[in-house]
Structure 1
Amino acid sequence: MAAKTHADIAPFKDEEVFFFFLVNYDEEVLIYDSVVLRRSDLALLEGPFYLNDHILQFFFSYLSLLHPSEDIHFVTPSISYWLANSKDFESLKAFVEPLKPFKVVIFTVNNNDDISKTDGGTHWSLLVYYKDANTYMHYDSIRCLNGRYAMKLYEAVKGHGSSRDTDSRLEDLDRIQNKKRRFAMSAMYPCFREYSTPQQNNYYDCGLYVMAIARVICCWCVNTLKKNDEILFPDILKNVDNSVESTMRIELLNIIKYLRT
C-alpha cells in the first residue's frame, strides 16, 4: 500500500479539531506510584500557571521513593484538605492515628473555602510536624496568606500527634486542679509556629516553593535526623531561594520525561 500524502488526508472540521484537542489534553502521560499525570497537568508545568494537587502528589511520591525513610510521611494534598475540613471526629482519628510513628509528617495547606470544588483555591503552603520538637511548622511563600488555613489544619490534627491516646491525656487533665487546667491543656499539645520562608515574586509559583521546601525537609530527615543530630529543624532559607521559579518547572518536566522512558 502506498503511503498517504498530505493531499490524501481529509482536513478536520473545526469541531473535529476541538474534540481531538480535548481528548489528547486529558490523555494519561504517566502513572507513578498510583499517581496519574495527564497532559493537562504537564501543561501547568509548561507555563506560568498555578500547580494542582496531582503534580504535588507526584513529586511527594517521587521524593519518598528517591529518599526512602521510615521517619517521614507525606500526606496527600486531598487527604490534607479533608483533614482540615472534616467534621467527623472518628473518621479524622482513623486517618491521623497511623501517623504517630513518624518523626516528620508533611501536610499541604490550601486556601480553598469551597469544599464542593476539589480543584479550588489559589495558594499552597506546607504544614510540617516535627515530633522531636513537638512542633507544627508552617512554611508560607506569601507571608501569612495561608495562616488561618494552616491553623485550621493544625487544630484538626494536633490532638492525634502524640504517642499517647486522647483518652489518657484527658484522664490526666481530670486530675489537675481547675485553675491549672488551661495551662496544662496548652502544654499538652504540640505548638504551632510560622517559619521564615523564601517569598515568591508572583502569585502562581507557590507550588514550586512547596515542592522545593519538601525536598529540603526530606533530605534533612534522611541525612541529619537519621544520625540523631541535635538539629531540630532543617535550614530552609539556606537551601531554597527564588531560583526555583526559573528552574523547578523544567526540572519536573525532565523528571517526568525520564520516568516515561
Structure 2
Amino acid sequence: MDRVVLSFGDSLLRSSDVSLLDPPRWLNDNVIGFAFEFLAASLSPPLSERVAFLSPEVSQFTKCCRDEAAAFLEPLALPCKDLILLPVNDNSGPEAGGSHWSLLAYVRRPPGFLHYDSAPGTNAHHARLMARNLSALLEGDGGFREERAPAQHNGYDCGMYVVCVAEALCEQHLRGCDDLILQSITPQYVTRKRAEWKDVIGELSRKSAVAPQP
C-alpha cells in the first residue's frame, strides 16, 4: 500500500517517495519539491522575501514553455528576489521524468545565472534553456556561467546534490557565508543528508498525524 506519509504545503509524499531517500535510489520531483518547500518555509520573513525556491514542476514548465513562462511566473514577483533556485532536469518534455538533476541559481547582485552540476556538462543545454526563458521576466540577466560544483561519485545522488547545494547557496548568499560552504558537500555529507531528510519527514508526519490512505 502506497500510503500518504506527509502533506506539507503543496507537497504530498507517499511511502514510495520517502523510500527514495534510501541509497542507492534517485530522488523524484516529489521529494525535491518537498525539500525546496521545507527550506523556503524555514526562512525567517525578512529572508523569505528575498529568495525563491521554484518546484521541479514550475522549473520544467519554465524550460519547456518559453512563450508562456513570463506570464505564468509573474505572480511570484521574481524580479524582486535576490536569489532564485531552480532544479534542472534533462527531460525534454513538460511532464515529470528524466535521468539527471542539477541546480540553476539566479543571483540579482551582480546579476547572472549560475549552473551547478554534480556531473559537469550533463545538463548545460537544459539549464541554458531555462535561463533564457526566465531572463524574459528579469531585468538585466547578466549572462550564464557554469560554476564549479561538488561532484557526485556515483550514478544516483544527483538529486541530493541539488538539495544540498540549494541549501548551501541560500546560506552563502543570504546569510553572508563564504564560498567554503560548498566545499563541505562531500559524498559522505550527501549520504548523511539523505538520512536527515528522512528524519525531517518522519518528524513532520508524526506531528501532523496524517491518516493512512490507500
Common topology (TM > 0.5): yes
- Alignment gaps of 5+ in structure 2: 207-214
8 A Cα contact 1:100 1:160, kept in partner:
yes
Matching residue of 2:199: 254
Matching residue of 1:237: 182
Cα distance 1:101–1:197, how it changes in 2: closer, same or farther (>3 A)? same
- Alpha-carbon deviation of 1:147? 0.5
8 A Cα contact 1:137 1:195, kept in partner:
yes
Amino acid at match of 2:152: Q
Cα distance 1:189–1:102, how it changes in 2: closer, same or farther (>3 A)? closer
Q: Which has the larger radius of gyration?
A: 1
Confirm or deny that 1:200 pairs with 2:176: no
The answer to which of 97-106 and 77-86 deviates more is 97-106
Amino acid at match of 1:76: S
TM-score normalised per structure 1: 0.72
Equivalent runs, 1:1-261 vs 2, <5 Å = 24-25=1-2, 27-68=3-44, 69=47, 70-87=49-66, 89=67, 91-97=68-74, 98-115=77-94, 118-162=95-139, 189-224=141-176, 234-261=179-206
Name which structure has the greater RCO, CA cutoff 8 Å, separation 6+: 2
Q: CA RMSD in A?
A: 1.7
Spell out, residue by residue over 1:147-177, the C-alpha distance to the aligned partner (whole angstroms, 9 max, x if none): 1110111111113211xxxxxxxxxxxxxxx
Partner Cα distance (1:109, 1:96) in 2: 16
Partner Cα distance (1:236, 1:144) in 2: 22
What is the aligned length? Answer: 201
Partner Cα distance (1:31, 1:189) in 2: 35
Identity across matched positions, percent? 30
Partner Cα distance (1:143, 1:215) in 2: 19
Amino acid at match of 2:98: G
